[in-house]
Structure 1
Amino acid sequence: MTFWIVISLITLATAALLSLVLLRGRDSGEPAAAYDLQVYRQQLRDVDKDLARGVLQEADADRTRTEISRRILTADTQAQAAATGRSQPRAFTGAIAIVLTGLVCGGTYLLYANLGAPGYSDLGLQLRINAAAERAANRPSQAEGEASAPASPERVVEPGYATLVDQLRKTAGERTDDAEGQALLAQHEANLGNFAAAAEAKANYIRIMSGDVEARDFGELAELQIMATGGYVSPEAEDALRTTLTLNRFDGGARYYWGLMMAQIGRPDVAYEIWSETLAMGPEGAPWVNAISSQIEDIAFRAGVEYTPIEPGSMAMPGRGPAVPGPSEDDIAAAQEMSVEDRQHMIRGMVEGLSDRLATAGGTPQEWARLIGALGVLQDTERAQAIYAEAQQVFADVPDALETITAAAESAGLTQ
């Protein structure tokens, strides 16, 4: 109520000032010709004084008087015409002032009612962050997202292909432990636009493989789940993305969808940090690069960032160091042969090993940034914050190193 009282007073004051200016404009004072008459009469008196002092000859004084008299007659005619002319009507001016007041007050209310948010309180940064966390915790599930997703247009399918897919469904349903059959079913269901069924088949494939899968398998599962909901990133898709980024934090597709999720829950600032880094990683022409390029400017606007175009694949962003290499080929090969639990233990072991080495022998800014990013993906926020604080002390006198470390902390959501 206080807000409306204050806004009403401000609007009325503005309308009153405009009306006052309009009403006062009715009386414009004496015409300019009246001032000219005063000047010409003074000039006549000055001619007499100059003649008395001998400055002017009689003949010159007569010519000057004649010229001034002619000007006086002209000015007098103009003054009389101005005095008898029609002035601005009082009633019309008052009506215009009333209409103006109504337009200002009514227009202000209508604009705010359509563009504003009546009753919406001011939100500080921490309140916005808390609201985003609450929104993320209470957002719809995968099943709810699929139920509310808009119906996708029917695809024209050759009868022969449709028959083959039906046979594949039947076979995959009978052979529930056939990983290859589930993989083929996921692929062909996706071709037909049945993304929910494709996601289910992909999840079955991952289950059957018992952890003998790659990061891209979880990334494909997340993408199918997101496409099944019409672009909404559900908690189930988030879990698949988190696993993808845990195995490979440089997976471009997963990073794109992670940023999309952050934008959906109300954290465009984090989304921009993730997307800007992913865009700079490239490579140019990658599907996620094209998707980010078409949306990042809007995300930057929502995040309050002045967007500067980023060249895909350049890794030459202001305040960012070179890309930190991911795990070696031996590490990846070893991870593919492990179960999910063993793989998680291995990843945490690698993180612990890097942490111990940095604590005892130190390391490069990129290694510190890698450790902060890994802890962020593992959601060990408290420890990541402690590592970030320690890195700031270690590289306090090296601005370039601090920029690299801060960039990693921003991507992990530690600087919000």
Structure 2
Amino acid sequence: MTAIWFILALMTGAAVLALLWPMSRRPVPVAAQAVVLATETGFYEDQLREIERDAARGLLAPSEAEAARAEAARRLLRASRGAAGDAPAVGEPTLRHRRAASAFALSTVPLLALLVYGLFGSPDLPGQPQAARVAAARGEAGDLAGAVARIEAHLARSPDDGRGWEVLAPVYLRVGRTDDAVKAYESALRLLGDTAARLSDYGEAVVTAGDGVVSDKARAAFEKALGLDPKAVKARFYLARAAEQDGDRTLARTRYAEIEATSPPDAPWLPAVRNSLARLDGRTPPAGPPGLSEEQASAVRGMVEGLDRRLADQGGSPEEWGRLVRAYAVMGDRPRAQDALARARAALGADPARLAPVEDVARDVGLVP
């Protein structure tokens, strides 16, 4: 650090000296300038007379003589203007004042800059390369994207690394790549084998990818997880949610109550369980699908609303309409689920075969008897 400050001081001193040196030179006296200009004027006058003599003796052609006269006359005129003193000479006191002011400015500005930087800057901080600054500006999102890219590159070379798939799956879920998360968990289960935690995480990814609906695939994973560990809370919760989704409110409430009764008071899943019980008891429902974090619930709501807009603008298959009806029912928004059912019936027409998937969903979620 001391060496760099010494180098900077030398550079500043050299720059100031380069600017002050020309001003330290004493100007040519006015009298000496007059002598030089008078000598130069006399030279060009003699040159004009010499051109006239050579032209008279025939040593110069008329055109050559004319050109020589014009050139000598131009030089004589320029020298005469200098001799006339068009620019006033600078007096010695004024010149001294200008030098003093320039020297003061050139020496004070660098010192002032160093003083301000010392007071308000951070001279003790280490330097940071541009690449590091750019990476820091990108923040956590850039770090996460880079981590995903590195893991993906590793798995492209080593697709049988089950641990790598297990690490990547929740990252996919966090960034909203739910289908990729499901595939990553499937690879981890295939390579590492079944555990209650791994099956529960896989089932949760399937639920998230299905807009919060506990599908048959997810239900099978949760039931298998409970077979390995009857106390697996995540699997118990989603199976309670599956019972609610099927319209069996009594079974759903029993399962939620069992989870609440056997959980520690500070268990992180208790708010979701109590929200589900509140909804079953007719109290204020949660803002999004139960069992998901706020980030996941927000992502699910966005996907459901996107599906709703697409079906309203472009239409869709009976399965997609059924998916929308089920999603709103799972979210606890029965008015919108009823509205989606009515719009599906209008869009699909009176054909019972086309309406069957939607009507089945409506019965499953309790919208129709």
How would you bin the TM-score normalised by the shorter chain? 0.3 to 0.5
TM-score normalised per structure 1: 0.33
- Structure having the larger proportion of residues in helix: 2
TM-score normalised per structure 2: 0.37
More contact order relative to length (CA 8 Å, sep ≥ 6): 1
